[in-house]
Amino acid sequence: MIQIILILSAVLLSLAILISLFRVAKGPSMPDRVIALDMIGINLISLVAVISLIQETTAFLEVILLLGILAFIGTVAFSKFIEKGVVIERKRD
Amino acid sequence: MSANEISSWIIGIIVLLGAVLSLISAFGIIRLPDIYTRSHAATKASTLSVMCILTGAFLFFSIVEGLYSARILLGIVFVFITAPVGGHLISRAAYHSGVSLWDASVQDELNGKKQKQPSSSARESNNG
Cβ contacts of A6 on chain B, cutoff 8 Å: 12, 15
Tell me the mean pLDDT in the region A23-41: 90
Q: How far is B118 from chain A (nearest CA, A)?
A: 16
Residues of A in contact with B18 (CB under 8 A): 9, 46
Instruction: Say yes or no to pLDDT of B117 above 70.
Output: no
In chain A, pLDDT over 90 holds for what percent of residues? 71
Angle subtended by helix axes A30-55 and B3-31, to nearest 10: 160
Task: Provide, as residue numbers in chain A, all residues whose Cβ is less than 8 Å from the Cβ of B46.
Answer: 39, 42-43
Half-sphere exposure of B41 (CA within 13 A, CB side): 21
Q: Please name which of A75, A89, A26, A81 lies closest in space to residue B96, comparing C-alpha atoms.
A: A81
Cβ burial A49-78 (10 Å sphere, 16+ → b, else e): bbbbbeeeeeeebebbbebbeebbeebbeb
Distance separating alpha carbons of residues B128 and B122, to the nearest angstrom: 10
pLDDT of residue B51 exceeding 50: yes
Given this model, what pLDDT does residue B22 score?
94
The C-alpha atoms of residue A47 and residue B81 are separated, in whole angstroms, by 20
- Read off the amino acid at residue A12: L
Instruction: Kindly tell me the burial class for residue B27, based on how many C-beta atoms sit within 10 Å of its own C-beta (0-12, 13-18, 19 or more).
Output: middle
Out of A62, A64, A76, the one facing B89 most closely (by C-beta) is A76
Do B86 and A76 make contact, defined as CB atoms within 8 angstroms?
yes
Banded pLDDT at B127 (limits 50, 70, 90):
very low
pLDDT of residue B111: 75
Q: Who wins on pLDDT, B118 or A71?
A: A71
The minimal CB distance from A16 to the residues B23, B65, B94 is found for: B23
Q: What is d(CA A76, CA A73) in angstroms, rounded to the nearest whole number?
A: 5
Strand, coil or helix: what is A6?
helix
Burial class (CB in 10 A: 0-12, 13-18, 19+), B76: buried
Instruction: Name every chain A residue with its beta carbon within 8 A of the beta carbon of B128.
Output: 89
**How many Å is the maximal CA-CA distance in chain B?**
68
Question: Is A36–B47 a contact, with Cβ atoms under 8 angstroms apart?
Answer: no
Q: Whole-prediction pTM value? A: 0.85
Cβ atoms of A78 and A29 within 8 Å: the answer is no
pLDDT of residue A58: 87
User: The complex's ipTM?
Assistant: 0.89
Q: How far apart, in Å, are the Cα atoms of B83 and each of A46, A51, A62, A87, B43?
A: 14, 22, 19, 20, 6
Q: Check CB contact under 8 Å for A46 and B18.
A: yes
B128 pLDDT band (50/70/90 cuts)?
Answer: very low
Q: What is the pLDDT of residues B58-105, one digit of tens each?
A: 999 998 888 898 999 999 999 999 999 999 999 999 988 887 777 777
Q: Which of A12, A31, A78 sits opposite B19 (nearest CB)?
A: A12
C-alpha to C-alpha distance for B128 and B123, rounded to whole angstroms: 9
Across chain B, what does the average pLDDT equal?
A: 84
φ, ψ for residue B66 (rounded to 5)? 75, 35
